[in-house]
Chain A
Amino acid sequence: MVKGESPFMKYLRRDRLPTIFCAGCGNGIVMNTFFNGMEMAEVDFDNLILVSGIGCSSRIPGYVACDSLHTTHGRPISFATGIKLANPEHDVAVFSGDGDAAAIGGNHLIHGARRNIDITVICINNSIYGMTGGQISPTSPKGSYGTTAPYGALERPFSLADLVTAAGGTYVARWTTAHPVQLSKAIKYGLQNKGFSFIEVISQCPTYYGRKNKLRSPIDMLNWMKETSINKRRADKMEEEELQGKIIVGEFQKKPEPEFAEKLCKLLEEQCVTGKPTAIRSAYQED
């Protein structure tokens, strides 16, 4: 390790740094917490494959020195499903934005959860389309401003952690970039869970969300997250009106269930006629 270097530098492609992210963007904090959680979960970095769609947040895997796929907008969970089924031995994680995961990719998200395929999805929810200049997303709070909502958003936002819990995710948690220690632990549990794990990270886009919503600096944004966060255990005992404008953080789901790749491999084994019942077997059986 080079003297004076960040403890996370060993996982990064240093020739690509600094990142394209704006000063104080939450994406960099999520990267750190991911490496931290990965170390705690004792994931073998050489066995890890990162997948992303399109967006600022989706640039993350490109900076990490492991195998990765930067795919099309909204589709990282589909690509990750393919990777996992082609070789279930890999640890597969997805980095996705709120637009990527919940707007264009919302369908893939709920079906990944329904199948309970063993991938870990880190959804960086900055409540806006950062990369394209600040459009409202499916998670933008009601009344918040964006380039497509100059009078404030009229629609109800999705609560992604609740959505994925309802769809069948088996480890689901929400934290913010102002809770890096708790977030690291949630990522650890997500990586350890044999099934569909979803970690929603409320994050800051000071450049678009912040500037449009009177939270001009990254410091203002993190203070806002700290002040409005409330733990799920407490929130569960409170009325809906009391929870207006609050960010509910904590674990939403932790319930092991049979995992899809395992079920599929078992089926392959039962139905196998070649004597080589692995997921990567049959196409090459002639060679």
Chain B
Amino acid sequence: MITVNENLCKGCNLCTEFCPQKVYKESEKLGKKGIHVPVPVDEEKCKKCGLCALMCPDQAIRVDEEDNDE
């Protein structure tokens, strides 16, 4: 499961650009802070490499190993 924290994301789009699987897409609508927060639209392609969480300059991303989001 991928979570992007809307309160922390500044909309730099480094995740959108550098995810090797192109999982993210910039949101069309503005978030509550006036930022186009990326959405993990192609989550099933995610390889759980963790690169996006390591690169997000604002610690806004979490990628869970397991898909069990009970």
Instruction: Tell me the A residues contacting B by CB distance below 8 Å.
Output: 3-9, 12, 17-19, 21-29, 31-33, 36, 177, 180-181, 184, 217-219, 222
Contact = CB atoms under 8 A, between A and B. Distances in A.
A222 B18 contact: yes
What does DSSP make chain B's interface, helix, strand, loop or mixed? loop
Nearest to A27: B57
Contact of A6 (B10, B17, B53): B53
B55 interface: yes
Contacts of B1: 4
A233 B8 CA distance: 39
Interface in B27-70: 51, 53-62
B57 A25 contact: yes
A5 B57 contact: no
14 contacts: A4-B1, A5-B3, A6-B59, A9-B59, A18-B10, A19-B58, A23-B10, A23-B11, A23-B12, A28-B56, A29-B57, A32-B55, A180-B55, A222-B17
Interface residues of B, number: 23
A227 to B, nearest CB: 14
B60 A6 contact: yes
Contacts of A219: 12-14, 17
Interface of B: 1, 3, 5, 7-8, 10-14, 17-18, 51, 53-62
Given A24-B10, A217-B13, 19 more contacts: A4-B3, A5-B62, A6-B5, A6-B53, A7-B62, A17-B8, A24-B13, A24-B57, A27-B57, A28-B56, A28-B57, A28-B59, A29-B54, A32-B59, A180-B51, A184-B54, A219-B14, A222-B14, A222-B18
B17 A181 contact: no
A6 B13 contact: no
A231 B56 CA distance: 24
A18 B61 contact: no
Contact of A218 (B3, B12, B51): B12
B66 to A, nearest CB: 13
Nearest to A22: B10
Closest 10 CB pairs of A and B: A28-B57, A24-B12, A4-B3, A23-B10, A6-B59, A23-B12, A219-B17, A180-B54, A218-B12, A32-B54
